[in-house]
Structure 1
């Protein structure tokens, strides 16, 4: 099956050569997602919980555009700027995955914009 590029309506132009998601063989690969507005400005500066919620809502919209849902996520890649935000990120994350949780990993690293506190990339299987 050829890959399908997923670009939901209203999506900001990516900062680099990528798309929000691709779908192939009923698997959706969601690119690393940050708390950006439609102009690629970081929103909720200084608030890791609000940034996490914004990111997960963005991922939810990308998945919906590809015919999927949050329940289809099988793996998340989570990048945090500071471990001090880990508990706040997990509290919001748990709201979006109340039942069976996807597999995941979490790394501390620098992110593409200094105001960004968290980034999440997802893999979903339809």
Structure 2
């Protein structure tokens, strides 16, 4: 399986002072793959208790670990993720505290990403929700 990640010249790619390098890839392409779709994931433990109340960084880290475990069900890793969608209640807090967790999780090869500010999530205590899409070899 091949995953190519690119940031074409001449296109805007957002950067943050607190993060070295790009925080996402503008476009990805895969060849010979099987798709994995991870549903919107919230920061709850297996007992349905909220993790990190009021702390978007802790909530983001929790969600990403849940996504890691979901990917492992099909033999995938964060490196196989080609796209994420993130929904946040407070964009400024997410960019300061949550996005660095996201960047750390994906390392030097970030997937394409969309982040959307919303007024409410499925549970009003959650500050962030993340979906992930991965591709693995057939």
Tell me the TM-score normalised to structure 2 length: 0.71
Shift of 1:97: 1.3
Offset from partner CA, 1:7-47 (integer Å, 9 cap, x none): xxxxxxxxxxxxxxxxxx61100000010111322211011
Separation (CA, whole Å) in 1 of partners of 2:85 and 2:48: 21
Separation (CA, whole Å) in 2 of partners of 1:94 and 1:104: 11
2:128 is aligned to 118
Query: Size of the alignment, in residue pairs?
Result: 102
Question: Paired residue for 1:65, among 73, 77, 99?
Answer: 73
1:30 is aligned to 38
Tell me the TM-score normalised to structure 1 length: 0.77
Matches within 5 A, 1:11-50: 26-50=34-58
Q: CA RMSD in A?
A: 1.1
Question: Paired residue for 1:97, among 103, 106, 120?
Answer: 106
Structure 1, gaps ≥5 residues long: 1-24
Moved over 6 A (4+): none
Which deviates more from structure 2 when the two are superposed, residues 45-54 or residues 35-44? 35-44
Bigger radius of gyration among the two: 2
Structure 2, gaps ≥5 residues long: 1-32
